Amino acid sequence: MEQVQEQQAFGMPRIGEAAPQFKAVTTQGEINFPSDYKGSWAILFSHPADFTPVCTSEFMTFATLEDKFAEANCKLIGLSVDGLYSHIAWLRTIKEKIEYKGMKDVEVKFPLIEDITMEVAKKYGMMMPGESNTKAVRAVFFVDPKGIIRAIIYYPLSLGRNFDELYRALIAMQTADAFSIATPADWTPGDDVIISPAGSCGTAKDRMDGKEEGLECKDWFFCTKKLDKETVLKTVLKK
């Protein structure tokens, strides 16, 4: 029984499932997740603790990029197991005292969740006992406008996140949805995209015979097509 309870406490939702619902106090007031974010993408991310250097560098970076994510219809929500007053003091310190990589006077405007009971962290599998029983690892959940989890990335306590990759992943998923394609390794807007493999022998033959216009096929199962950067950005970004 104890083992089952522990698995439930530290379980995590999966890609394709509805994001677990919760109500929480944040630095921007109370939120209901994901219902308050219906119609927008959301990135829910956790950090181990306030007043730590790696987390500080991450929050400054995310805050600086918030408008860029907003243009892609994506809102940011942070979480740690620290209390609200600790959050407020830390964010004030960041704005008033910290300068890093040319960033200074950085104001964090997106919500930072108070989770001293670890209720949300456990619900989302952000607690990793092998890493720490008292700090959330660096988890990232991409939630789409329908409240469905689309991607999950986890980092250990010692490793700061790559924010270019978080943005790239967001744009790639939006592009896949909009154009019914897949994106290859290291894809960025403007690169060729992948179309679904042929579903029949006839389609496979037609593709290899060059009968489907606009496709470049390496083999029957591996076909790409052009999708220019302007078309991608015009579709996924708010103008």
* Positive or negative torsion for Cα 179, 34, 12, 45: positive
User: Which position has the higher pLDDT, 127 or 112?
Assistant: 112
Do 47 and 13 lie in one domain? The reply is yes
Catalytic residues: 55
Evaluate if residue 122 carries a pLDDT over 50. yes
Is 84 inside any structural domain?
Answer: yes
Phi then psi for residue 121, to 5 deg, are -60, -40
Contact 224, 184 (CB under 8 A): yes
> Can you give the residue range of the structural domain that contains 195?
180-236
**150 and 66 within one domain:** yes
Residues 91 and 192 in one domain: no
Rg over alpha carbons for the chain, rounded to the nearest Å, is 21
Residues 198 and 151 both lie in one domain: no
Q: Over the stretch 68-104, which tens digit does the pLDDT of each residue have? A: 999 999 999 999 989 999 999 999 999 999 999 999 9
Q: pLDDT-derived band of residue 173, with 50, 70 and 90 as boundaries?
A: very high
Residue 167 lies in a domain: no
Residues with Cβ within 8 Å of residue 150, at least 6 apart in sequence: 15, 16, 142, 143, 144, 173
d(CA 187, CA 226) in angstroms, rounded, equals 12
Domain co-membership, 10 together with 117: yes
Residue 170 forms part of a structural domain: no
User: Is 95 within a domain?
Assistant: yes
